[in-house]
Structure 1
């Protein structure tokens, strides 16, 4: 009957922002999901609210489960704990669906539009996003700990970083050298001297490699609309592919649409939005050129494919986010292969080359800057068995787990 028998959460102290969910069914199948940030709150929602309701229900009814979890009395249309918990559960149910039928999730969604998709490298380091805040880690004063400390590199030698990425086949990169100037004014303004300093890495990339690489600018929702406009207009002559999350509240579609009308740089948004309604409002306001979503935050694949359909209906390209965890990356890749208007899958080469490999069995394969379609059933990866035996692991179960051989 494919009924849910056990819901399990797993997290490790070394990566305190990551949480995994495993759902076991009476078919002896296990589906894997993931979410990110505030994991104690997500864990509480899963075990105190979701798991008691989910046990005994048919895991095939993904849409029905999603509808229930995405319409709580509080906590919808945002990326709060309820949404992140629902996202992790949904990813696990889709992983189960693919495994049940022996097909990858992109096929379960309706088939692949493409067999590979272009990657861009988000220039973060090895420890980026692993602590509480994340976005200001590894600044220019930090010590380089390995060859892929790309956040240090874009502040110190952006041209050399671009050359390194091109040598590995990447033809697009994302950096955020302006973030460090937001704190002084709470993001309300940026001085001309700070603006010029923040633009320098972009200039160095262009000087080093010309137009051989596309550059995205990440603003991390740090700025007021007025300050963001000054930054965007200053970037216009540097052929920036997009400016991502430029204003402090990306749900403020009126302010965002006004900004978009007043600058020539394309606006990308937003990993910070949850649920299809938020993205519908963004699109109806004509407030973004590129639609970015994070499947561990927006409601999972069930909601993600609806957001992808909205992007297609509004003739907007789609770019799944991942600067968080390996399972979310695999899920984003599955959607990017399926969604008609998808143009990129974000990757971060530092964790791909290091600690992601300590957590999961499989990761995306990148050939000449193109991410290849996974062929394994489900999301295409599982937690390594040794993860649950680590000294720093915390495992919580609700329901009856099947015996392990």
Structure 2
């Protein structure tokens, strides 16, 4: 029986010039970070995973290598449940780093499933009990931000040409400006386009009358993260006031946080993130629990092709997955160059790779061009109450 020989994690960063910085609810993104996790077996076989950077990519890599990895050397790499519980007991439930430890574990778990698939010569979707199938994709990620209406219109037109039938617009600016941008896109492209909106936790209950009005007037597909993740009362109150589906989950960590979210009847669409919420081992539990509450799954995609491929596998293994989030940022080498051959959306749909594990070949040589830059990737922006355009 093989054993885990070593675990490494490395941060990489792609800085953006002004032209490629997106303004949205979290601020302005000045760089794209990724934390690549490698789990190596005694035979030298490598499984790859991605941990969300938590806005501190170099710190996240150190947490993985110095905090979690030493606990797992010589463990059975096929023992996903045992390894997850080992870290849970030692790092999550007491004396750990909370969300940071969960993000670190997420990347390790993803890499372990990639390694398991390679050891057993099976794709992850098959190991999870699924079959290879297509899922409709929506154009999301770091795109469609706080831009003038004509610029947004041009970007959406290009996405429709690529085959997308659903998009996600960034809101959380002011309700009036959000309404103006969303209304322009709805009026321009008609009712056949599904438009979701993401507020990045920037609304308050005082904003809700205006927010509900523009969401209902424009038949919004879902309203994502209107409030901070702890504000379950506001989520529940919002659901009472509108039939617009409410989505959240990318900033919730582990099944116990999701249990509270589901029991509060706070959301109708779950957006748990593989690189944040515990990897495949935990996400499958969260998805199964969501189904018991009749909550649909539309997992959040993080920063690289690893997260994207992982979500494609997960969606192929659950019956209630509704949409795949495709990052359509104009510049993201960790999406477009890290896997060879490239993996992504075709004709508005995603399908998991059929090779073993994640089914993608990682080209680490390209990462040499993107040394880590410490610190946050999102910086605050000043917002005025005046008109935009």
Question: 1:27 maps to which residue?
Answer: 43
The TM-score normalised by the length of structure 2 is: 0.84
Question: 1:159 maps to which residue?
Answer: 153
**Is 1:174 matched with 2:168?**
yes
Question: 2:58 maps to which residue?
Answer: 40
Structure 1 position 389, deviation (Å): 4.4
**Which consecutive unaligned segments of at least 5 residues does structure 1 have?**
126-149, 182-194, 395-405
Asked if structure 2 preserves the Cα contact closer than 8 Å seen for 1:123 and 1:175, the reply is no
SS for the counterpart of 1:197 is helix
Question: 2:112 maps to which residue?
Answer: 93
SS for the counterpart of 1:158 is helix
SS for the counterpart of 1:5 is strand
SS for the counterpart of 2:9 is strand
Question: 1:66 maps to which residue?
Answer: 84
**Which consecutive unaligned segments of at least 5 residues does structure 2 have?**
15-30, 374-389
Alpha carbons of structure 1 residues 362 and 94: separation in structure 2 relative to 1, 3 Å: farther
Alpha carbons of structure 1 residues 123 and 102: separation in structure 2 relative to 1, 3 Å: closer
Question: 1:106 maps to which residue?
Answer: 125
Aligned residue runs from structure 1 range 140-155, under 5 A: 150-151=144-145, 155=149
**Is 1:244 matched with 2:224?**
yes
Structure 1 position 197, deviation (Å): 2.5
Asked if structure 2 preserves the Cα contact closer than 8 Å seen for 1:364 and 1:372, the reply is no
Asked if structure 2 preserves the Cα contact closer than 8 Å seen for 1:60 and 1:93, the reply is yes
Alpha carbons of structure 1 residues 107 and 328: separation in structure 2 relative to 1, 3 Å: same
Alpha carbons of structure 1 residues 101 and 383: separation in structure 2 relative to 1, 3 Å: same
Structure 1 position 327, deviation (Å): 0.8
Question: 2:182 maps to which residue?
Answer: 202
Q: How many residues align?
A: 353
Structure 1 position 266, deviation (Å): 1.1
Question: 2:27 maps to which residue?
Answer: none
Q: Distance in 2 between matches of 1:208 and 1:309?
A: 39
Alpha carbons of structure 1 residues 290 and 259: separation in structure 2 relative to 1, 3 Å: same
318-327 vs 151-160, which moves further: 151-160
**Is 1:281 matched with 2:300?**
no
151-160 vs 268-277, which moves further: 151-160
Question: 1:56 maps to which residue?
Answer: 74
Asked if structure 1 preserves the Cα contact closer than 8 Å seen for 2:225 and 2:248, the reply is yes
Alpha carbons of structure 1 residues 74 and 232: separation in structure 2 relative to 1, 3 Å: farther
Asked if structure 1 preserves the Cα contact closer than 8 Å seen for 2:34 and 2:334, the reply is no
Asked if structure 2 preserves the Cα contact closer than 8 Å seen for 1:70 and 1:76, the reply is no
Q: Distance in 1 between matches of 2:185 and 2:8?
A: 45
Asked if structure 2 preserves the Cα contact closer than 8 Å seen for 1:228 and 1:247, the reply is no
Q: Distance in 2 between matches of 1:28 and 1:284?
A: 44
1:173-206 CA deviation, whole Å, 9 max, x = no partner? 0011x3333xxxxxxxxxxxxx332212221222
Question: 1:5 maps to which residue?
Answer: 5
Alpha carbons of structure 1 residues 278 and 154: separation in structure 2 relative to 1, 3 Å: farther
Asked if structure 2 preserves the Cα contact closer than 8 Å seen for 1:77 and 1:278, the reply is no
Structure 1 position 343, deviation (Å): 0.6
Aligned residue runs from structure 1 range 184-223, under 5 A: 195-223=175-203
Alpha carbons of structure 1 residues 8 and 332: separation in structure 2 relative to 1, 3 Å: same
Q: CA RMSD in A?
A: 2.4
The TM-score normalised by the length of structure 1 is: 0.81
Structure 1 position 350, deviation (Å): 3.0
Asked if structure 2 preserves the Cα contact closer than 8 Å seen for 1:251 and 1:282, the reply is no
**Is 1:328 matched with 2:322?**
no
Alpha carbons of structure 1 residues 381 and 171: separation in structure 2 relative to 1, 3 Å: same
Asked if structure 2 preserves the Cα contact closer than 8 Å seen for 1:19 and 1:39, the reply is yes
Alpha carbons of structure 1 residues 351 and 7: separation in structure 2 relative to 1, 3 Å: farther
SS for the counterpart of 1:366 is coil
